[in-house]
Amino acid sequence: MTRLAAFQRVARQYADIADSLLVYIEEAHPSDGWVSSDAPYQIPRHRCLEDRLRAAELMNREAQGSAVVVDTMENSSNSAYGAYFERLYILKDEKVVYQGGRGPEGYRISELRDWLERYRSDLEASKAAAVVHV
């Protein structure tokens, strides 16, 4: 949940230039599978979409103010983006412009923040260049 809080801080900080979205995918450490000793919740493997929706509701409660959507039971988003089980992406004009490393080791909020800061600077520079004085 620490990473979620850090993500939310960045999302709020850059809300003026970027929309954020959390995609709830398959459970990384299901209580009936590879259990994590520090998991804040005991969530069994999702056997149907309703299971996944119930689990995502927990994330929705923790991530108030962030949009949360749920991957399909075929794990199409997880497969397409190679999240397994945490990953940060930035999409612009329907293209991936930033792909963070796989979590948990490759999950770097600082890289996300740096990218967004450069993007904000570029936007501000392009606005300044577009000013016409008559």
> What is the total count of domains within the chain?
1
Report how far residue 54's alpha carbon sits from residue 103's, in angstroms, rounded to the nearest whole number.
Answer: 23
| 3-state SS track over 15-71 | CCCCCCCEEECCCCCCCCCCCCCCCCCCCCCCCCHHHHHHHHHHHHHHCCCCCEEEC
For residue 67, give the CATH number of its domain. 3.40.30.10
Amino acid of residue 101: G
Which domain does 9 fall in, by range?
1-132
Q: What is the pLDDT of residue 105?
A: 84
Please report which helix (H) or strand (E) contains residue 115, including its range.
helix 109-129
Q: What is the pLDDT of residue 86?
A: 83
Residues with Cβ within 8 Å of residue 7, at least 6 apart in sequence? 20, 22, 66, 88, 109, 112
Decide: helix, strand or coil at residue 120: helix
pLDDT given for residue 102 in this prediction: 87
| pLDDT by position in tens, the chain (length 134) | 678 889 999 999 999 999 999 998 887 777 776 666 666 677 888 899 999 999 999 889 988 888 999 999 999 998 888 877 788 999 999 999 999 998 778 889 999 999 999 999 999 998 877 666 66
Q: How far apart are CA 99 and CA 107, in angstroms?
A: 10
- Paired strand residues for 92: 95
